[in-house]
Amino acid sequence: MSVLNDPKLEALLDALHAQSAGQEEAVGVYFRRRIEEGTLSWDGFDAETTVFFRDKLVALEKVKAEYCYLLCRALNAKRVVEAGTSHGVSTLYLAAAVRDNASAARQSGRPADAFGGTVIGTEYEPEKAKIARRNFAAAGLAEYIDLREGDLADTLKTIDGPVDFVLLDIWTEAVMPAMRNIAPHLRQGAVIIADNSDQSRRGYAAYFDFIADPNNKLRTMTLPFAGGLEMTVRV
């Protein structure tokens, strides 16, 4: 049995993963050129890089996304926040977990308030958000996703209840604006996954400072997925 156990959804995801993988070479060429030119800023994306990424999926790798699905099942996650949605690949895994948690609750006769669940997604590129919504509808998962369009520093200001799981899969300069909005809502035992935490150590510096502050009640570990996957727990 596959991790998702949903052949129709997996077929859609395989196509999206293939589309994203097909763009990786162009991403490599772009960054090598900017590094050779000495014009790449390590403190955040400039206008040229932002434009370059407008049509790039930069999807979370399948193995990491499946891991997130399983974590959401283990946590019985009902409220999930995702920083960085793009075309919605990781969002679909998270929404499938929320749907499957609700369905397990229904089958075990738990009270009706256990049936719901939402993944709050965030995307500031209108075209990417449009494609993401199309993918959510094609997967039959739109009812589990609240995609918020605009800069997440604004769109995540309102979070209506305790957050069980967070995925940070975004340009690193947006990590702390996301965390400042999300952190007050983390329930005890919530898990935060941050992609490429080893590869982008410098970009994540402020996030690691935030984790190290005992007032924030976080414990962390870098998991040995490609590029490093940071798993942080709100204790």
Ligand X SMILES: C[S@@+](CC[C@H](N)C(=O)[O-])C[C@H]1O[C@@H](n2cnc3c(N)ncnc32)[C@H](O)[C@@H]1O
Q: Site residues (CB under 6 A) for ligand X? A: 57-60, 84-90, 122-125, 128, 151-152, 169-171, 174
Closest approach of ligand X to the CB of residue 105, in Å: 26
- CB-side neighbour CA atoms (13 Å) of 159: 31
Q: Which of left, alpha, beta for 69 (phi over 0: left; psi -120 to 50: alpha)?
A: alpha
Closest approach of ligand X to the CB of residue 16, in Å: 7
Nearer to ligand X, 186 or 193 (CB): 193
Is residue 198 within 8 Å of residue 227, measured between CB atoms? yes
3-class secondary-structure state, position 15: helix
Nearer to ligand X, 30 or 171 (CB): 171
Nearer to ligand X, 193 or 218 (CB): 193
Nearer to ligand X, 6 or 61 (CB): 61
* Residue 168, both tokens: 């940070």
Closest approach of ligand X to the CB of residue 135, in Å: 9
Q: At what angle do helices 7-22 and 126-139 cross, to 10 degrees?
A: 150
8-state DSSP, 231: E
Those residues with Cβ within 8 angstroms of residue 175's Cβ, 6 or more apart along the chain or in another chain:
83, 168, 194, 203, 204, 206, 207
Closest approach of ligand X to the CB of residue 110, in Å: 30
Nearer to ligand X, 81 or 105 (CB): 81
Closest approach of ligand X to the CB of residue 58, in Å: 4
